Each structure stands twice: as structure tokens, then as C-alpha cells.
A and B are shown apart, each in its own frame.
Chain A
Amino acid sequence: MTNAVAGLGLAPDAAMVTFPIEMFLPGSDISPVQARKREFYDGLTAWRSAFAADGAGEAPMIRVEGASVEDAFARANNLMLANRWGDGLPLWPPTRQRVDWILGGTAQPRRRPLGTFPPRGGMTTIESCAIALAMAGGRPEYLPVLVAAIEAFLDPESGSAQLQAASGSAFPVVIVNGPIGAAIRLNAGFGCLGPDPQRPAGASIGRALRLLQQNLGGALPGIGTMANYGGLRYTNVVFAEDEANLPAGWAPHGTERHGFATGTSSISLAFANGATNIRRRGAKKETPEEDALQGMYRMADFMRTPNMPGLAGYEHGTPGVLMLPGVVAQTMAGLGWTKASIREFLWEHSRISAEHLRRAGCPAWIEIDASKVVRESIDLDPWPITASPDNFIIVVAGGGHPTNSYWLQGYSPGVVGRAIELPPAFDRLLADAERDLGPR
């Protein structure tokens, strides 16, 4: 809570009276309000901020000493955990040398401001990104993707200011389109949401994003973020669309959603707070048409649930990201399916009856929503989980195997796109990666 107002340009403290969560639950004992009434009175009269009004300061350099490289490395890691800068996994200390190396991934000035990171309000620069990427084990050729992702994250349209602190455990999903994905070894295929030493870029980029969320944004569990569970937050979700396996006539996500020309390296950032595998394939003697249709029903049925995170992006965001493997997309395209017809089907068949909404208490959430479109949707029966089929994100990604698809449940007020800006010497960085990591 101490970060709650800093992102607004105010000092990161405020006159607050805090109570255990139990007092905020239905039927609670609220007598502590009376017992601590003086704290409310003091907050109105005597409280003073501990921060000066012009309290901007440069972050200092940190020094550790050790008997050996390993000893110094261990001390640096201990210090970063003690200062709440780490995530529990080993970190590269962001030395000048390493950060300067990472900065080779951009032609932009290192001090170029990108905004203030909510809710704490940490001043975010190109250098901040390089520091986080250095800590996360990244490489310079990853920096353009991270910078674009941070620009999108800090765009108010993303909703990050609220989602950083909220209890719903939102994590950013960064979808990369264009040639940069394969060039920097970003996974689009088997295991693209998990660890892969052959295609390690997504883990470092996503981890760096998370470190920025925590270290500049103040999103420490139970302090700056009230996320109940925080799933997928070690590395967030960063992957490339499998454009090599896009069926003919299917546009890349960046083109469909954001209007980037095909072949443009770009990112698209949304938020999700759930991830699940959906068994899509049939098991016996289905025809190709039956196999595709049954899979579509199974995915829509999974989405037809009276859980309310989709409200956040009901009007302009997304109810979620559906990932289809290239082999499935190819087969479905051969049967006449398009991304647009898949969206229409999912929208139509994921609608929830008013009776199901009522018994789950959903109308109350719909009635108090900030969006007029959401509030007015309460009259619809069955109720669509999003205002328009266009809000569904369909991407082709995942291993070349037909059994499964993947659903990232959206909790995303907006979906923000950014073109990726490459430095003039980018090809040299790729050659360095080839030298360091072996052939792609």
C-alpha cells in the first residue's frame, strides 16, 4: 500500500490506517475502527510525508567485495535479495560492463525516459531496461523487444497501473511478430511458454519485465501487489507467433490487431491471469470436419464460465489469447476456417445464460463496472463474454502436434502494440550470438 500514490507524482507514502484483511470481509467485527479512531484523526491533522516534495534522486552504484569471483557473486546475490530486488533465482549483477554490453542493443540514449512505472513511480529509462535485462541473463539483441514491451506496458491503455497492484494475479503476455522472433531465438514452437536452451530469449525478456515491475514498479508480493497467487510471474509470457506456419490468407496477429505491415517486427502486449491446456483433438474415427468442430466446441465450452476477469477488457481489451499449433491452423484453414470465423464461433458459443450468471452472483460485478458497455450488457441473454468477436486474440504458436491448444485467460483492459526499433548494428549482435551460443 505504501506505493499506492507514488505513480501519481505524489510521495510514495500517504496517511493511511490499515487493518487486517479479516475486517474487510462480510459480517466482520468493525470495532477496531473505534479502537483506532485517533489514527484517523491524526491522519487528517498531524501526518506528514517522510519524503521531500522535490525528492528525486539518482540510484547509486552498489559495491560488494569477496575473496573470489564466486564469493563476490554470492554476496551480490545475497544483497539483491536482502534489498528485495531479486526473484529467488540467481541474478547477474548488473555491472557497468554488462549493462553497457546490453545497451549495444539500442541506438537510443541510455537516459531516454520511458515513463514512470506504476504503482511506485520509479523513473524508467532505456538504461533501466538494460539493467533489468542484465540481471535476468539477457543479451543485447533482446533489448529492442524489452523496450517495446515496456513502452506498451506503460501506455495507460494497457491498464497496467491497476493490474500491477490488483489481487487478480495479472501477468503480461507479449506476442512478438516479424523476423526478429526467429532472429533472436524466441520460441514459437514446442514448449514456447516454458524453458528452452535452444530458444532462450523469452525467459530473459519476460524475467526482465517482471524485475522492472517489481524493482521500479514496487510490485512486491503482499506489499505493492496484492496478487493472491502470482502465477507465471517468474518470466511472464513472451513468445513469437509461428508465422512460418500461418496458413495462406491468415494475417499475423500484429497485422490483424494493430495494423502493422506484414513483416514488421512488433510486439503486442495484453494481460492474462490464467493459463490452461485444452485437449482439442478427437480420439477415434472423426472426419477432419468433425475433429475441427468438436475441438472448437471444446474450446468455447471452456471459455463459457462465469468467471469475471473478462470484464476488464470487455469493451476494448480481450477475453483471452487462444494459441493454436501451426498444424491445426493449417488443417482448419484447409476446411475453410479463418481467424475471423474462429473468433465468431468462439464468441457465439461461449455465451453464458442469464440464469448461470445470476446463480454465480455475476450481475453485481457487471452492474458496478466502470464501462457503460459492460453495464448495459446485463440485459443480454445469453451474455457474451466480450463485447465483440474481434476482441478474441487468435495466434498460431506451439509445437507441431495436433492434440492441444492453449488458452490464456484475459484480464486485459487494452491490447497495446508497438513496432520494434532495431539498432543499425543489429546484424553484428546476431553474429555475436551465433558465436556465443552456436548456430540457430
Chain B
Amino acid sequence: MTLSIDDVKRIADLAHIEVNEDEAKATLTQLSDIFNLIEKMQAVNTSTVEPMSHAQDVTQRLRDDVVTETDQRELFQSVAPQVEAALYLVPKVIE
């Protein structure tokens, strides 16, 4: 598999990470090496194997739909970059 500079830029865009031209070039070489390593997987026939997502075969626990947390908004917002009137501030999205 071959990656192009445009692939790197597209992935970076999907991941919301800004990359400049030089970074994209350096990343391309490294990602290509890593994908060559990963490519070894394709040699094994897995058509009859079930995917394994977790080590233990456990099912998701359910709990009663009741409030278990207390209001700690002030504490949790104390670590936010910008807060006003209990709201997280971000740049204007709608004109």
C-alpha cells in the first residue's frame, strides 16, 4: 500500500490536527514505514475467525436509570480554558 501527501493531509484533517507541508512530508515517510510493518497481517487467512474486541467475554453491565452523581459543575469547570456564566466559551459558530 502506498500513501500520498494528500492522504496524510486528509487523515490529519479528519483527526483535527493542523500539519504544515514539511510535517506532512516527514509524516508520510514514517507512516509508510509503519504501514509496511502492518501489511504483514494480510498474509494470514482469517476468513473463518471471529473478531475479538475484548480479552474477556463479558457483557455490558446495566444499572438502574437513577441519578448517581452530585452536581460538581463548578469544580469541573475550574480546569476549563474559558468559562462564563457556567458555559464553556468557544469561538462563534453561527453568525
Q: Please determine whether chains A and B interact with each other in the same assembly.
A: no
Q: Interface on A for B, CB 8 Å cutoff?
A: none
Q: Interface on B for A, CB 8 Å cutoff?
A: none
